[in-house]
Amino acid sequence: NNPDVVRRVQDPFFLTQIAQTFKDVSNAIDKFAPWYLDQLGMTSVYNHKVYCRQALTGGNYALLNTTTFVPNPDYYGALLWHKVMGSKVLSVTHKGSPYLRVYSHCSKKEPGVSFVFINLSKNTSFEIDLFHDLNLNGGSPNFEFKGHKEREEYHLTPKDGNILSSVVLLNGTPLELLDSMEIPELKPKLVDGLKPINIAAHSIAFVTIRDFNAPACF
């Protein structure tokens, strides 16, 4: 419950320091913390093929509660990453606030492009429009992308807006084990592809766009 730790896991400049992040946020990462997915995105950009998380249970980095074995929020983040993010990493940039982090991969299994948006700000939400940049290959100028198919969106937020909560919500519904003790199904909400992507304060969003044609994904 160290308030300085809470500040640091929301600080984009601090999160960029990978080794220091592991050292200093160990007392907060069993709560709703964006650092894990940010590290997955960042290391993928630098062509790392494997990211080892310490640990599934036990120690300071557990994905499961060490007493009850109930999944911590990062467990669900890892499941969504595995579900939607493919192995091919795409180049993506934005001109907005440093408190908004964004990473993109080819979608897993099915055609399309998947994004993860991480909003570190506790007060500011973001409205995202996508632009397709073909200039890198000598193609057409940038143009704003408007999808014609519905987007698949998974929005993770902490319960009651409290970043220290050990309960995470998926599209507004708490993620809790079923009576059978199984993991609940992670279902996206479908959003009109013509509308901007809205990223709430203190949230993480996985977004898959099936009709975004990235040449690297073919």
Task: Note the pLDDT of residue 125.
Answer: 96
CA distance 152 to 194: 13
Least confident of 87-96, 170-179, 195-204: 87-96
Return the pLDDT at 19. 44
- The number of CA neighbours under 13 Å toward the Cβ of 83 is 17
User: Is pLDDT larger for residue 22 or for residue 69?
Assistant: 69
Quote the percentage of the chain above a pLDDT of 70: 78
pTM value is: 0.83
Q: Strand pairing of 151-158 and 203-209? A: antiparallel
Domain ranges of the chain: 3-217
What pLDDT does 183 receive? 96
Residues 100-135: pLDDT tens digits? Answer: 999 999 999 888 999 999 999 989 999 998 887 665
Q: Tell me: pLDDT of 8 over 60.
A: yes
Which of 95, 31, 19 shows the shortest CA–CA distance to 10? 31
CATH 2.60.40.1180 applies to domain 3-217: yes
From residue 106, alpha-carbon distances to 83, 110, 203, 212 in Å are 12, 9, 22, 10
What is the average per-residue pLDDT within 56-83?
88
